[in-house]
């Protein structure tokens, strides 16, 4: 039985969302195939493990009785990750547990952005979800749009700037935005999710206010031309390389200009359609031609950044049903399980498939050669400063 370390929480404004996703993964994973090891990263960045971390009520009460602060080490022999008590020393470390595979359920900064994926790449351990490149590009809205533009995928007009540009000459930034995009626009931190720090600006005063909020969350700010009276349609993709499938499409309901944090995680907590006050419609009320187009674009958005596992791609439709890719979420909240149920893939099966993909892509990675015998040491005279290697 493989041990799966489910990592959640994190040093991020999306901390609470990540805890919910982590709980859902741990509750629904196939216990006959996998043993779960919870790893909770606190808001201050401490790594903890312990059985009480598997009970959601403990997070409400902040009541963790058996947790231990841990650090990780790599085994060079079997490529496992070992959990040790924090401060146990470099030599003779006590081993609390070992992991065969890691399931990051981290949202946003320091988890969904390629940082923790890089750690697992260095440790050469299988991990679920997008790799370093896909995670970092998917997280950075500017780089993401640059990539999609290079693939001729439909996106709204945009421009971006650094926080330092705003501090030095805000008038210049405003003038460039008004000249290139006009109004209305959306102002967003480039590296953040869950609608945090995003605001719509309809005039200069609104633009200044929106930028002042956004610069508190990131050093890079993106400004996008607003789609008027939009509909949002979302579609998930599952797989890797060219072996991918799409989920049902959904349409979030009951929002106006911005799908807020509350819309996503509080109002929309119950899946499906209600008779009144519905939160999301699955499948979305779109015709067959439009559905096929969105599914095709979702696959291209997924594969163009070399993503793996599952991701949700969010689209905007204007009044003429023109389609624009808004963003890709390389780790959707609740892993987007509700999008797959209508295709016969339960949350348990979805988790299983994501783990299978992680194992297969790890095997693929280890087919690469990482050693090249060039005899460079014997051919290089050490200590000669002008010597070129």
Comparing 197 with 360, the larger pLDDT belongs to: 360
pLDDT for residue 258: 58
Say which of 12, 18, 135, 334 is annotated catalytic. 334
CB 107 within 8 A of CB 312: no
Residue 74 pLDDT = 80
Query: Is the Cα torsion angle 11, 17, 19, 25 positive or negative in sign?
Result: negative
The DSSP annotation for 131-158 comes to: -HHHHHHHH-HHHHHHHHHHTT-----E
275 is in an annotated binding site: no
Q: What angle do CA 229, 251, 294 make, to 5 degrees?
A: 90
Q: What is the mean pLDDT of the chain?
A: 89
What average pLDDT does this structure show over 242-266? Answer: 74
194 is catalytic: yes
Q: What is the pLDDT of residue 357?
A: 97
Q: What angle do CA 313, 299, 116 make, to 5 degrees?
A: 60
Q: Is 296 annotated as a binding residue?
A: no
pLDDT tens, residue by residue, 126-177: 999 999 999 999 999 999 999 999 999 999 999 999 999 999 999 999 999 9
> Residue 227 annotated as binding?
yes
Cβ neighbour number for residue 377 with a 10 Å cutoff: 7
Residue linked to tokens 């679920």: 128
Tell whether 251 is in a known binding site: no
Give pLDDT tens digits for 333-384.
999 999 999 999 999 999 999 999 999 999 999 888 887 777 777 777 666 5
Catalytic (active site) residue 334: yes
Flag whether pLDDT at 273 surpasses 60: no
Q: How confident is the model at residue 257 (pLDDT cuts 50, 70, 90)?
A: low
> Is 224 a known ligand-binding residue?
yes
* Marked catalytic residue, from 194, 247, 251, 295: 194
Q: Which domains does the chain have, with CATH numbers?
A: 2-127 (3.40.50.20), 157-225 (3.30.1490.20), 231-365 (3.30.470.20)
- Amino acid 260: pLDDT: 47
- The Cα-based distances of 26 to 3, 51, 98, 222 in angstroms read 12, 11, 17, 35
The sheet that has 231-240: what strands, in order across it? 280-281, 243-252, 231-240, 309-317, 323-329
Q: What percent of the chain clears pLDDT 70, i.e. is strictly above it?
A: 88
Q: In this structure, what token pair is assigned to residue 334?
A: 């609740």
The pLDDT of 207-217, averaged and rounded, is 96
pTM, whole model, 2 decimals?
0.89
> 16-39: per-residue pLDDT in tens?
999 999 999 999 999 999 999 999
Query: Which residues neighbour 200 within 8 Å (Cβ) at sequence distance 6 or greater?
Result: 184, 185, 186, 187, 206, 210, 226, 257, 258
Spell out the residues 6+ positions from residue 317 whose beta carbon is closer than 8 angstroms to its own.
Answer: 227, 230, 231, 232, 233, 290, 323, 324
Q: What is the mean pLDDT of residues 274-288?
A: 77
Whether 194 has a binding-site annotation, put simply, is: yes
Report whether 329 belongs to an annotated binding site.
yes
Tell me the chain's radius of gyration from C-alpha atoms.
23
The CA-atom distances, in angstroms, between 156 and each of 278, 321, 326 are: 28, 14, 8
Beta strand 158-162 pairing with 220-225: antiparallel
Q: Pick the range with the lowest mean pLDDT from 106-110, 232-236, 301-305, 384-388.
A: 384-388
Q: Is 326 annotated as a binding residue?
A: yes
Is 229 part of any known ligand binding site? yes
The H or E element containing residue 296 is helix 288-304
DSSP strand pairing (323-329 vs 220-225): unpaired
> What is the tens place of the pLDDT at every residue in 57-102?
999 888 888 899 998 888 766 667 888 888 765 555 688 888 999 9
pLDDT score at 270:
45
Q: How confident is the model at residue 262 (pLDDT cuts 50, 70, 90)?
A: low
Q: Are 213 and 202 in contact (CB under 8 A)?
A: no
Q: Say what the pLDDT of residue 316 is.
A: 97
In the predicted structure, residue 308 carries a pLDDT above the cut 90: yes
Q: Is 35 a catalytic residue?
A: no
Backbone dihedral region for residue 382 (phi beyond 0: left; psi -120 to 50: alpha; all else: beta) = beta
Residue 64 has a pLDDT of 85
Mention every residue, 6+ apart, whose C-beta is less than 8 A from residue 4: 29, 34, 35, 36, 37, 99, 100, 101, 102, 103, 355
pLDDT tier, 40 (very low <50, low <70, confident <90, very high otherwise): very high
């Amino acid at each position: 039985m493989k041990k799966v370390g489910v990592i959640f929480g994190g040093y991020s404004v999306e901390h609470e969302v990540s805890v919910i996703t982590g709980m859902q993964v741990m509750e629904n994973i196939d216990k006959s195939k996998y043993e779960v090891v919870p790893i909770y990263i606190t808001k201050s960045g401490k790594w903890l493990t312990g059985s009480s971390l598997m009970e959601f009520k403990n997070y409400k009460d902040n009541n963790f009785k058996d947790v231990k602060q841990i650090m990780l080490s790599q085994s060079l022999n079997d490529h496992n990750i070992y959990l040790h008590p924090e401060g146990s020393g470099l030599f003779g470390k006590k081993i609390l547990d070992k992991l065969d595979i890691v399931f990051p359920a981290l949202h946003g900064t320091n988890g969904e952005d390629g940082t923790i994926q890089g750690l697992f790449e260095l440790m050469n351990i299988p991990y679920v979800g997008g790799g370093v490149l896909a995670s970092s590009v998917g997280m950075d809205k500017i780089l993401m749009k640059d990539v999609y533009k290079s693939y001729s995928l439909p996106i709204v007009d945009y421009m971006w700037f650094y926080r330092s540009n705003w501090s030095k000459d805000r008038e210049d930034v405003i003038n460039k935005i008004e000249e290139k995009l006009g109004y209305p626009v959306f102002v967003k931190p480039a590296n953040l999710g869950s609608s945090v720090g995003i605001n719509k600006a309809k005039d200069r005063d609104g633009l200044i206010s929106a930028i002042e909020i956004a610069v508190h969350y990131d050093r890079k700010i993106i400004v996008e031309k607003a789609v008027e009276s939009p509909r949002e349609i979302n579609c998930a993709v599952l797989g890797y390389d060219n072996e991918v499938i799409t989920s049902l499409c959904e349409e979030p309901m009951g929002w106006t200009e911005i799908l807020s944090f509350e819309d996503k995680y509080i109002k929309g907590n119950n899946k499906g359609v209600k008779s009144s006050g519905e939160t999301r419609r699955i499948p979305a009320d779109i015709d067959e031609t439009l559905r096929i187009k969105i599914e095709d674009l979702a696959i291209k958005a997924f594969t163009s950044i070399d993503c793996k596992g599952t991701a949700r791609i969010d689209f905007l439709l204007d009044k003429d049903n023109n389609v624009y890719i808004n963003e890709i979420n390389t780790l959707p909240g609740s892993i987007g399980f509700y999008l797959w149920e209508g295709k016969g893939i339960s949350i348990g099966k979805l988790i299983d498939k994501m783990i299978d993909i992680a194992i297969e892509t790890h095997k693929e990675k280890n087919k690469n050669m990482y050693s090249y015998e060039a005899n460079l040491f014997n051919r290089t005279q050490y200590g000669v400063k002008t010597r070129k290697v």
